[in-house]
Amino acid sequence: MTVVKKYLSLVKFSHTIFALPFAMIGFFLAVKHNELSNQASAELGWGLHFSETWQLVSVKLFLVLVCMVTARSAAMAFNRFLDRSFDAKNPRTAIREIPQGIISPNSALRFVILNCLIFIVATYTINLICFFLSPVALFVILFYSYTKRFTALCHLVLGLGLALAPIGAYLAVTGHFSLLPILFSFTVLFWVSGFDIIYAMQDIDFDQSNQLYSIPSVLGAVNALRVSELLHLLSAGAVVIAGVYGDFHFLYWIGIIVFIGMLIYQHRLVKPNDLSKVNIAFMTANGIASVVFGILVILDLRLF
């Protein structure tokens, strides 16, 4: 296994698929906002300045992607570093890179620090508000790794960390807050928290025996699924409100049908007494939900 593959496996790079489409939604919302503002003020138009404008957009897009990848990589690697003793004892996670000796704890920690530094530099290059908020973002995503030690609300902290993606991408382009990307952030917050509860059901016995907190280990499988359903209902509500508030067109609403359909599908897959399809619910259903929804929303923004 090459060094790159080792670290990609350490941070579960494929799971970037969950938050990245929502970051892109935030980014293209901001681009659309700037285009409308520029047309209204006649400062920039669709003529000679168009290519120059999109050159700047391309640079911002690259920097947003750098921020997304480095922030998530730092968070995941720090989680693996901090939980290495628990991972070694849990049969489900004992095959991970640090317990197996594929990556040393010190190497993982250096990887975390490197990604944090790249993230901060990238935010400084974007604009000052992103730079000033970068320590807040890093605190949230790194703090999550401690939460399972003292609160069953750890799933909401994870959701909050990923929910920063739409707001952060929007700030990168516009430099100010707006309600619409915040609504998408609430969508991510409730969506991620809900499916993380489902994922955590695999470790109920282990968490209980090791004094680790999660909603499944505290409330049990049946009640945990009910909490997950409630959170996904809130996520569906937030994305519908965003669609109405943002005055989107038919592509958006097709995306909502897919997104909510995948939420329903994953709850049909997982039962309190049958967790055999948790990975399908976690990766497949949520991957389809985020990617298809993200593509349709961006197309809606660009075509109308």
- Which band of pLDDT confidence, cut at 50, 70 and 90, is reported for residue 259? very high
What CATH number corresponds to the domain at position 132?
1.10.357.140
State the average pLDDT over residues 170-195.
97
State the average pLDDT over residues 272-276.
89
Q: CA-CA distance, 299 to 131, in Å (whole number)?
A: 30
pLDDT tens per residue, range 87-115 = 999 999 999 999 999 999 999 999 999 99
Question: How much is the pLDDT for 280?
Answer: 82
Domain that holds residue 44: 3-303
Q: CA-CA distance, 157 to 19, in Å (whole number)?
A: 14
Q: CB-based contacts of 231: which residues, under 8 Å, 6+ apart?
A: 190, 191, 193, 194, 197
pLDDT tens per residue, range 206-257 = 999 999 999 999 999 999 999 999 999 999 999 999 999 999 999 999 999 9
Rg (CA), the chain: 20
Q: CA-CA distance, 2 to 212, in Å (whole number)?
A: 34
Tell me how many domains the chain contains: 1
Question: How much is the pLDDT for 16?
Answer: 85
Helix (H/G/I), strand (E/B), else coil: 274: strand
- Which band of pLDDT confidence, cut at 50, 70 and 90, is reported for residue 49? very low
On whether the CB atoms of residues 186 and 238 are closer than 8 A, the answer is: yes
On whether the CB atoms of residues 206 and 239 are closer than 8 A, the answer is: no
State the average pLDDT over residues 4-29.
91
- Which band of pLDDT confidence, cut at 50, 70 and 90, is reported for residue 86? very high
pLDDT tens per residue, range 13-24 = 888 888 999 999
pLDDT tens per residue, range 158-169 = 999 999 999 999
